[in-house]
Amino acid sequence: MIKYFIYHKWKESIRSTVFQKNLVINIILGLFILYFMASFALLGFFIDAILSENFPGRNVIYVFNGFLLYYFGVELILRLQLQELPVLSVQPYMHLPISRKNVVHYLLSQNLTSLFNYFPLLVFIPFAIKVLLPESGALSVVLWLGSVISFSLFLNYLCTFIKRKTAEGFWIVPAVILLFAAIAFLDYQGIIELSAVSEAIFNASLSNPLILAIIIGLLALTYYLNFMLVYSNTYLDEISKKQKSNIAVGNYSFFERFGQIGQLISLEIKLIFRNKRSKSVVLTSSLFILYGLVFYTNDIYLEGNYMLIFAGVFITGMFMMNYGQFIPSWESSYFDGILTSDIDSEQYFLSKYYLFVPTSLAAYILSLPYAFISWRLVVINFVLMLFNIGINAFVILFFSTFNNRRIDLSKKAMLNWEGVGASQFIMVIPALLLPIALFFPFEHFISPVAGYTFLASISIICLIFHKFWIRLIAKRFEQQKYKIAAGFRKE
Amino acid sequence: MIQIENISKKFGGNTAVNIPHLEIQKNESFGLVGNNGAGKTTLFRMLLDLIRPSSGKVMIAGSNVKGNSNWKKFTGSYLDEGFLIGFLTPDEYFNFIGGLHNINKAEVNERLQGFEDFFNGEITGNKKYIRDLSKGNQKKVGIAAAMLSRPELLVLDEPFANLDPSTQIRLKNILRKYKSNNENTLLVSSHDLNHVTEVCERIVVLEKGETIKDIKTGETTLKELEEYFAA
């Protein structure tokens, strides 16, 4: 039986549509993974050197062990945020003559395929072989590796248990982060000493099998808790209705006064706030307002212009870029309905544009406190807000007509490559290079002020003629719509 | 009302639809039948300008559906769930569709009164998103939304599928009532020969993308169709 489960799992992953259709994405993703693997392995090989340099005179193994609990804390937060619950994949097995227990074991074992379980090994194993083996011997290596690996798996099942129990509540990650921040604060103040605890536990694991036994006990306990929870809930209705839609029927009648465009904007706002993935776009985009801190705290950047232009484009345009790159894929599930409705393409794109403008303005207003760092930022960000709503918005909407990949709105947001095609990569280039290209000649031959003035003026001119650009985009959309709709109909 | 001229659609090397000429008059109730893969949905999609024909054109009320959206004002259609906005409640969806046709909320509610039996209390007033409704209930939402603007042309793909028997009977009454207005034209496709012969005055059989039969519905139609499909 297990053989079939593994076989099906393998087929599922190699036959998944994302894997098959999207070669470019797979190559990029593969390169990312390789890069991370290489970095981790390098870290594993050289961590003893790094540690002995930073903590001279101390035993490298003890220092390493002292860091382990901090690392596991970060791992738990990452897991909570990024790891997926394998939920629906058991449905086809429920009615077959397979014992319910085996199905649950299968479901729980699927967690083990998560990359999270393997990345730390790239650090732990080299460290164990290079440092532990010569110093403490093979038995210690086995005990210690057993302990850290079991601890990581314990976190794996702890994370899935928390997620199942809270039905993936939105608040759980911030809550855990807050808890850990509190612990870190107490640790920093010297009230508790986490590193000492960590050192004590994992130093002991080198020689004492009891530690390994306790950790395996914890692992078994979390596995059992997961098992009981899933086992008592493996009825189809409970599996598929796990994520109940929270009904948030707000009052959007404000927009509906503005005719068809208002209708479309109000629809779009509902789309954004009623679906996981789009909601997280809003969240990450608003976090990007803090992006300025990366540049503005560095005096070299602060005195120059180009980095500030980059930062300004991102700060005031993150939402339109982040959300706009997937227009109209967001609406792929009802795109046929849009096409057969009496919605004019120009009005359709105008409604998107009218959604971009206030978000860009709002981001600018929220960025005003940067004035405390430098008054120039207020002016520069204003110019780039104008650029975003005067030029960049049309670049994004133009590239949106190349999108024909379906997005399933109900799917998770993190590390979701659905809907990503070549256009997402290409559109970043003009969006970022255009302000530089417009700014550079004036700055170089006259003065930075002239550069900003030119950038602002040309943005304002384009802004005034926004209907012209929208008309061009709508025209292109009219030619492309069959291709887009055909792409969206494919699962 | 509708003229189809030399229309064809090829996917890769396969011809999905190939119809030299087909005309549907105003006030006709037109039924399209055929086995799976006969090209019914493809034909409807070309009719609604959702896919580009390989050749030929579709005219609704004298103008080409392509590059013109005038026909959308008086055409109501529901082909599949791809028409429904899953994250809206049915009420919000009706109001959205109504709003596109400049029908205010009070008027939308009044028009939905006519669907009360059909909805069987499961659609309006419920705080449930469309994506959480059953297939049958989703279909009810789609059909009612298509009829909300009181269109002169109504296009429905498989309207009877997924509906329970009571609802199927209620739907037949709704469609008959719709047809009793002399201005209205009805196009449906169906796998259910009984229903389609009851509702439609004219039936066209599609096979491998071509029109095989064009029958004016009479006493013997059902039998004729059954014989054809049994062969």
Same domain, A84 and A166: yes
B169 touches A: beta carbon within 8 Å: no
Contact yes or no for A207/A143 (Cβ under 8 A): yes
Same domain, A336 and A220: no
| Chain B neighbors of A336, CB-CB under 8 A | 45, 50, 79-80, 82-83
Rg for chain B (alpha carbons), in Å? 17
Whether the ipTM is more than 0.90: the answer is no
Same domain, A282 and A165: no
- The boundaries of the domain holding residue A94 are 2-240
- The boundaries of the domain holding residue B21 are 2-230
Half-sphere exposure of A485 (CA within 13 A, CB side): 22
Asked whether residue A35 carries a pLDDT value surpassing 60, the answer given is: yes
Alpha-carbon distance A418 to nearest alpha carbon in chain B (angstroms): 18
- Cβ distance B83 to A275 less than 8 Å, yes or no, reads no
Residue A90 pLDDT class (50, 70, 90 cuts): low
Question: How many angstroms separate the most distant Cα atoms in chain B?
Answer: 52
Predicted confidence at residue B139, as pLDDT, reads 94
Other CB atoms within a 10 A radius of the CB of residue A10 amount to 11
Return the residue in B46, B70, B83, B130 with the most chain A beta carbons within 10 A, the one to mutate for interface testing: B83
Q: Is the C-alpha dihedral spanning A481, A484, A488, B2 positive or negative?
A: positive
Q: Is the C-alpha dihedral spanning A313, A317, A319, A325 positive or negative?
A: negative
* Angle at CA of residue A331, ends A327 and A333, nearest 5°: 145
More confident residue, A178 or B142: B142
Q: Convert the pLDDT of each residue in B123-159 to its tens digit.
A: 888 888 898 889 999 999 999 999 999 999 999 999 9
Cα–chain center distance at A322? 12
Q: Convert the pLDDT of each residue in B187-228 to its tens digit.
A: 999 888 888 998 999 999 998 888 988 888 888 888 888 888
**Which residue of B73, B79, B83 is in closest CB contact with A342?**
B73
Same domain, A222 and A340: no
Same domain, A43 and A174: yes
Residue A406 lies in a domain: yes
| Chain B neighbors of A247, CB-CB under 8 A | 89, 127-129
d(CA A440, CA A448): 9
Three-class DSSP labels, chain A: CHHHHHHHHHHHHHHCHHHHHCHHHHHHHHHHHHHHHHHHHHHHHHHHHHHHHHCCCCCHHHHHHHHHHHHHHHHHHHHHHHCCCCCHHHHHHCCCCCCHHHHHHHHHHHHHHCHHHCHHHHHHHHHHHHHHHHHHCHHHHHHHHHHHHHHHHHHHHHHHHHHHHCCCCCCHHHHHHHHHHHHHHHHHCCCCCHHHHHHHHHHHHHHCHHHHHHHHHHHHHHHHHHHHHHHCCCCHHHHHCCCCCCCCCCCCHHHHCCHHHHHHHHHHHHHHHHCHHHHHHHHHHHHHHHHHHHHHCCHHHHHCCHHHHHHHHHHHHHHHHHHHCCCCHHHHHHHHHHHHCCCCHHHHHHHHHHHHHHHHHHHHHHHHHHHHCCHHHHHHHHHHHHHHHHHHHHHHHHHHCCCCCCCCCCCCCCCCCCCCCHHHHHHHHHHHHHHHHHHHHHHHHCCHHHHHHHHHHHHHHHHHCHHHHHHHHHHHHHHHHHHHHHHHHCC
Contact yes or no for B129/A274 (Cβ under 8 A): yes
Other CB atoms within a 10 A radius of the CB of residue A154 amount to 21
Length of chain B: 231
Using the 3D structure, point to which of A187, A212, A240 is the last residue of a domain.
Answer: A240
d(CA A304, CA A268): 39
Same domain, A7 and A78: yes
Q: Tell me, what CATH number does B151's domain have?
A: 3.40.50.300
Number of structural domains (chain B) is 1
d(CA A285, CA A279): 10
Residues 256-295 of A with CB under 8 A from B: 256, 260, 263, 267, 270-271, 274-275
- Cβ distance A340 to B72 less than 8 Å, yes or no, reads yes
Predicted confidence at residue A252, as pLDDT, reads 65
Residue A249 lies in a domain: no
Same domain, A315 and A457: yes
Residue A251 lies in a domain: no
Q: What is the mean pLDDT of chain A?
A: 83
Coil, helix or strand for B48? coil
- Residue found by looking up tokens 């807000």 in the block: A385
Predicted confidence at residue A20, as pLDDT, reads 59
**Which residue of B50, B83, B96 is in closest CB contact with A267?**
B96
Residue A364 lies in a domain: yes
A35-49, A228-242, A351-365, A412-426: least confident range: A228-242
Nearest residue in chain A measured CA to CA from B126: A247
| % of chain A with per-residue pLDDT over 70 | 88
Alpha-carbon distance A260 to nearest alpha carbon in chain B (angstroms): 6
Other CB atoms within a 10 A radius of the CB of residue B69 amount to 18
- Residue found by looking up tokens 């403490």 in the block: A136
More confident residue, A119 or A380: A380
B138 touches A: beta carbon within 8 Å: no
- Cβ distance B72 to A489 less than 8 Å, yes or no, reads no
A188-192, A421-425, B110-114: least confident range: A421-425
Residues 35-94 of B with CB under 8 A from A: 45, 48-52, 67, 69, 72-73, 75, 77, 79-89, 92
Same domain, A297 and A438: yes
Same domain, A352 and A484: yes
Other CB atoms within a 10 A radius of the CB of residue A402 amount to 17
Q: What amino acid is encoded at B59 in this protein?
A: M
Coil, helix or strand for B20? strand
Query: How far from A143 is each of A128, A194, A211, B200, CA to CA, in Å?
Result: 11, 22, 9, 78
Mean pLDDT of A391-419: 81
* Best CA proximity match to A401, nearest among A486, A343, A325: A325
Using the 3D structure, point to which of A179, A214, A240 is the last residue of a domain.
Answer: A240
d(CA B204, CA B216): 9
Predicted confidence at residue B4, as pLDDT, reads 92
Predicted confidence at residue A395, as pLDDT, reads 93
Coil, helix or strand for B178? helix
Same domain, A263 and A386: yes
Alpha-carbon distance A101 to nearest alpha carbon in chain B (angstroms): 29
Same domain, A235 and A272: no
Number of structural domains (chain A) is 2
Residue A248 lies in a domain: no
Asked whether residue A246 carries a pLDDT value surpassing 80, the answer given is: no
Same domain, A223 and A310: no
Two structure tokens written together for A340: 């057969």
**DSSP class of residue B193?**
H
Predicted confidence at residue A389, as pLDDT, reads 94
**Which residue of B51, B86, B129 is in closest CB contact with A334?**
B86
Q: Convert the pLDDT of each residue in B46-58 to its tens digit.
A: 998 888 888 999 9
d(CA B130, CA B87): 6
Mean pLDDT of A301-322: 88
